[in-house]
Structure 1
Amino acid sequence: MRAWQAPSVPDVPGAAPRPVVHDTATGKPVDPTHGDERAALYVCGITPYDATHLGHAATYLAFDTLGRAWRDAGLDVEYAQNVTDVDDPLLERATRDGVDWRELATSQIDLFRRDMESLRILPPDDFVAVTDEVDRVAEAVAFLQETGSAYEVPTPDAEGDDLYFDVNHPTDAWSLGDESGLDRETMLTLAAERGGDPERPGKRDPLDPLLWRAARDGEPSWDSEIGPGRPGWHIECSVIAGDRLGLPISVQGGGSDLVFPHHEMSAGHAAALAHQPLAHAFVHTGMIAYQGTKISKSLGNLVTVRGLLDDGADPRAIRLALLSHKYSDDWEWFDAELTSATTRLATWDAWASGAPAGHADDAAGVASRIRARVSDDLDTPGAVAAVDTAIAGGTACTPELADLIDALLGIRLG
């Protein structure tokens, strides 16, 4: 599946330090490349049943920043992202609205592409629809069945039985809790809230996740070697990440609401399939609230990228507003966020367009500070503050400095 048009990224003299990021699994800052010259990034993509909201935008912007930082450090970056274009929320929304689920998915993926282009997000090398990978997922589930990591749960209302992953089956690269660090009671609560079915009769363990949903009347399904049906959620990402990037990848990324069960179970599936960890680091973005509650499609309290753009917002100002918050923090969006970012952007534009002033070595120092902040766990608020300080101190905006701001922060000035 095609991604979206890539923005141009200037070549900038010099190189940044290798970035370190916060690994959720260990709670520590790490260089997830382990010194390699290749960085492999997998970010969980959208379920396309509604518009791109600011939570989505902040997540993809954070990993866009990581990719830019890796490139500025001289690394070769490989990036894959999925689209969960068949899943219960999509099917439920299509039924509610009286539209074909495939048409709904197609329209929302197109909108997502346009929003990512507007925000100048670098596209993945592999933008992968789950519906294009069903055969490969079925092969993986069949392997897990053969090796004892998957089992059948009787499903009277389906053509065959659902298949589940045994979280207690021994693996040499993962055990339950390795990636999330959560206690069992918390896991059970989150599984019930986030698409799991801990109360399902017939499971060996309430936390066992679905691998393959057998075909039901009125639901999409595909023929496969394990019978008609469709993939479960977590196995999709395990298979796509392994096939497109090889394991272990450098970073598995997504919002903090994916820590459990999605990333935990994806890591378990990967270990059972490949006898390798899924990733060297699990990196998560914080949640954005609006009107006192986390922005959520299910809750409907959305601030959408498209809505802001349609109201006349400069997409650079939206990007700058998001960059002004630490990627891993939870925070709340207020209308003043965009107002402040628009004012800041105008100041930056005027600085970049004005007559040269100050000294070139001052500009070089600012560039070093921006690079240092971004490489330190993607501290974009620190990088934004470095630009503000440079302007307030009368430092010249040289072409090289403007290019660095474009290359690392994705803000093209002037």
Structure 2
Amino acid sequence: MRRQIDKIIIISAIIMCVWGVLAVFSTTVNSPAFSNIYIKQLFAALIGLGLMMLMRILPYRVLEDLSFFIFLFSISLLVAVLLIGTEIHGGKRWLNLFFFYFQPVEFAKVALIFSTARLIRKRSNFFISLLPLVIVFFLVTAQPDYGSMIPMFFAVFAMLSISDIETGWVNILVFLLLIFGGTLLTESYLFARGTTLLKIHYIIWPILLTGLAAWVYRGVRQLNKNLRWKGFIHTAIFIWGSAGAGLGGTYLLKDYQRRRIVAFLMPELDPLGVGYNTRQSLLALGSGRLTGRGLFGGTQTQLGFLPVRHTDFIFASIAEELGFIGSFIMLALIFTFLWQFIKIIEQTEEYSAKLIATGLFTVFISQTAMNIAVTLGMLPVMGLQLPLISYGGTGLIAFLGMTGIMLNINLRGDIIAS
């Protein structure tokens, strides 16, 4: 069983890497500025596959024991990006290492998962376990790179949900994040309309938030009869704080980030501007039909209508050139690959291994789902690559390294640590 999982993961990873290199070559061959990046992708794939096999034999407990130092190193890289990083497309996310650009946030994903797993196992305290996430959040959003934070949020919450820590805190935090996200989207929508929540709902909005706090407090008190009136004040503060953070967060966003949200909510407002990306992606998806236009034959891709076709929208390029059949085969390959991760989590008995495997799987599946959702116009553009397929050397190497760790857990995760 374990050997079969091992083989399926390795073969699937190699196929996706080869497919990714071919897709990058096809989407950039007619673009002089990007005509040789498929060579960089191939080189990164070879390094990543070597790292995958190394991580496969290196015990994951070694990384867990060194997680504090690995996390400190990743934090130092994130700080270095803010100080001496190269700014591209309005964000400081890369370190120029002369031969290539290195994106530290990809390394931070692994460091975050291992450090969180160790804190959960050693401390078993909800708030202490969130410390690595909070530190990474402030450094990554300062770049700014909000898109990369979302898979990390999902990973930490998934790890907490399967841990021995009381899940009530996890549910409360998810609820507050929903309020934050809802307020952020609502305010972005109203901002595009030339108004604001404070302007048109300065009476209704506070009443709704206070009513929501009362409703939540009533439900919590049914579970805990000893909860006093001070509990309502705490509940109201949390809810008001989340809504206020969402409101203020709208104005902390960069202009291009706010425009992306607006284009997602109302693409008709700017079909040739920010909404152009999603529009061209949907055109590419539809024009592929059943069998596609053939490799190097996609009009949206080859004529340059589809932007960032080798990174964010590579799935749309594949769908245009290989059609529904090619897209279905790719999705089936990704599903087969990730299904083995689920099997590993289910059969893993060691506590830390299960936490780490859950975190790695969540990063993989959430980033994959979000990339495809952006392609389909279901989410605003976030700058997330499709794991193992999109162009991006650091991300490719990091995800193959994560795959190697999963392979190691598959081999060693049933051994209970003494």
When normalised by structure 2's length, the TM-score is 0.24
Q: What is the TM-score of this pair, normalised by structure 1? A: 0.24
Whose strand fraction is larger, Structure 1's or Structure 2's? Answer: 1
Larger proportion of helix: 2
